[in-house]
Every structure is written in C-alpha cells, then in structure tokens.
Amino acid sequence: MKAFVLDKYAKKSELRLAEMPEPELRDDEVLVQVHAAGVNLLDSKIRDGEFKLILPYRLPLILGHDVAGVVAKVGPRVRQFKLGDEVYARVDDFRIGTFAEFVPVKEASLALKPKGLTMEEAASIPLVALTAWQALVEKAKLQKGQKVFIQAGSGGVGTFAIQLAKHLGATVATTTSTGNVALVKSLGADLVIDYKTQDFEDVLHGYDVVLNSQDGKTLAKSLHVLKSGGKLISISGPPDPAFGQEIGAPGLVKLVLRLLSSGIRRKARGRGIAYSFLFMKSNGSQLREITRLFDAGAIRPVVDRVFAFEQTNEVMAYVEAGRAKGKVVVTIKSIACH
C-alpha cells in the first residue's frame, strides 16, 4: 500500500511517499480502507520530535490520526462492525498511520460515520471533536448558563468547541482575526474578540471555563478572565503530573512534567483556579455521541480545504501556517481502489 512515512525526527522535514506492507491486524481491530484523512498540527509536532519524550514511537512511522473510510477486514474478536461499513475514528496512539491506503483501528475507537456527511467531512471530525468533548463535557462538566472562553475560534478545535458549548447551553466567547468574525458568529459565538485590535483579558471577566490552545503567554493571561473556582484546561501544554500518571510515564518523565507545569499550577492555585492539561484519547463511544449531534443537525463540520493524498507534505505546511478555517483533509479515494 502507498503511505507517507517519517524516517527521522526533524523540523519541517518532508515525509516520504513509499510502498509499505499492509498492516497486521490484531484480534480486536478493524482494517479500514482509507478514503480521507484529517491533517492536524499534532502530525507536524510528532514529525518535529516534540512528543518523543511522551510518545516514544519506533521509526520509520506512518503519520496521521484522523480517518474516514470503509471496513475492509475485521479481527476475530470484533462484534460491532462488518465488511463495507462506512466508519470514522481518531486512531490510537502507537497505532497511528492514516496517511496510507489502509489503517488498523481498535474496535473500541471506531464509530459508524455520520450519515449526512461526506468521507472528507467525516475525516475532519474525530480528533478535534473528541478534544472538545473531553475538555468541555468530561473535564469542565460545562453546564447550561455557564460562560466559556474558547481560544482560536476559527481553528479546527475552535469551530467544533463553539458549537458543542452552545449545544450544552453555555455563553461562548472566542478570539479570531477580523476576516473570521462572521464565521465564528455563524457557529454560535456570543462574544467575538478580534485579537488584532483587542486584548481578551481587557474584555472578559468572571468566566467559568477557559479552553486554552495557544502559547504560554496566553495561558498565563487566561487566569485573569476566570472567576475563583473556574477551570483552565489547556490542550497546548504544559503537561501536568496527572497526565504523567495517566500515560504511566517513567519517573524521570513525570518529574519533567511536574517541573514544566509548576509555574502555571502555582499561579492557578493562588487564584483558586483548577489547571489541567488535556491530551485527547481515542474513544468510539464518545464518537457515537458526537455522531448523534451531526445526525440531528446540532453541529456542522467546517472544512477549509480538501487536497489530494499526494499533496500530504504541502498540506502539513499549510496547517502549520495556522490560516485554515476549520479543518484540512486529504482524500485518498483516487489511489485507494485496487
């Protein structure tokens, strides 16, 4: 099968288009013929070596975390899926590899694709939707009437998180650039801050939850918009000790994570705010809940552009530039039909 392969960690390095053996299928896995794959900043960060401490992958490695496609084979222990099912998933860490014609996915991480969506639209969803779900539903327990500040509202996570927060009955503030104000308002944002002309910490006060996806400076400023008892959830770091426990990190790595996050945790404690880091995990049952929201028309996908599979390296550069509105997807159908 054709696949884009990472040979060594290096910033902005090119992936190699190669002929690879079809992946071995484990008993609890489904082999998915890839029709489309979402491209995420996480792919670039792994390629650059930013996660090698907490995700020690063996190279060469096929990148890609989001998939939409058709079930081509099922392992002997799989019960929920059959050949020909249209499915989507955020594949598991250590089993990534959606920039390829086929990818194995754990049954527990897979869900049937929302009926009204194309393969490209479905491939844009899993990673960002599960991130928003795990941040707002699981960690924040966001309630009707609460106020949430979602940074970078026109990005992949932002476009989904705004819609989910509105669906949960929250008041939503977000930041974006001038050109994207109409987009984030159309998704349901109540208060839109143009970060080119305004500073969010001058405008927002007394918020219950902040979903931080930006740099350390923005993270520290986010403390000022939260009320005492509020929750600051960051998907861009720094990782906290709880995350070290969760991934069963070795002692030295746990110590590093503790040190990396000690400053922000201390500041948060001083203001009566709970800080937590979220590194989203694959989850088929949460994805089924998300599918219901799409099927009911409560949420819509936001796809910026669809590229051909052969352009995967260009797509990664495009995503890194940070200009995409919503998600960027590569389509593999053209070469996936044997």
Q: Tokens 């500041």 identify what position?
A: 267
Residue of 286, 247, 279 lying closest to 110 (CA atoms) = 286
> What is the per-residue pLDDT across 183-226, written as a single tens digit (0 to 9) for each?
999 999 999 999 999 999 999 999 999 999 999 999 999 999 99
pLDDT of amino acid 47: 97
Distance CA 20, CA 144 (A): 49
CA distances from 62 to 5, 15, 19, 102, 329 (A): 5, 9, 11, 11, 16
> What is the per-residue pLDDT across 181-191, written as a single tens digit (0 to 9) for each?
999 999 999 99
Q: What percent of the chain has pLDDT over 70?
A: 98
Amino acid at 290: I
Q: Tell whether omega for the bond before 238 is within 30 degrees of 0, i.e. cis.
A: yes
DSSP string, 56-125: -PPSSEE---EEEEEEEEE-TT--S--TT-EEEEEPPTTS---SBSEEEEEGGGEEEPPTTS-HHHHHTS
Residue of 91, 92, 136, 114 lying closest to 290 (CA atoms) = 114
Q: Is the pLDDT of residue 172 over 60?
A: yes
Distance of CA 287 to the CA centre of its chain: 12
> What is the per-residue pLDDT across 273-292, written as a single tens digit (0 to 9) for each?
999 999 999 999 999 999 99
DSSP string, 250-271: -HHHHHHHHHHHHHHHHHHHHT
Please check whether residue 221 is in contact with residue 201, taking contact to mean a CB–CB distance below 8 angstroms.
yes
Summary mean pLDDT of the chain: 96
Q: What is the mean pLDDT of residues 258-277?
A: 97
Which pLDDT band holds residue 336 (cuts at 50, 70, 90)?
very low
Q: pTM score > 0.95 for this model?
A: yes
Q: What is the mean pLDDT of residues 66-76?
A: 98
For residue 281 the two structure tokens come to: 């995990």
> What is the per-residue pLDDT across 36-59, written as a single tens digit (0 to 9) for each?
999 999 999 999 999 988 899 999
Q: What is the mean pLDDT of residues 88-103?
A: 97
Q: Is the pLDDT of residue 148 over 90?
A: yes
* Domains, the chain, with CATH or none: 2-124+301-336 (3.90.180.10), 128-277 (3.40.50.720)
Q: Is the pLDDT of residue 259 over 80?
A: yes
3-state secondary structure 146-163: CEEEECCCCCHHHHHHHH
Which pLDDT band holds residue 337 (cuts at 50, 70, 90)?
very low
pLDDT of amino acid 53: 86
Instruction: Give the distance between the most distant pair of CA atoms in the chain.
Output: 60
Which pLDDT band holds residue 9 (cuts at 50, 70, 90)?
very high
Choice between 323 and 141, residue whose per-residue pLDDT is larger: 141
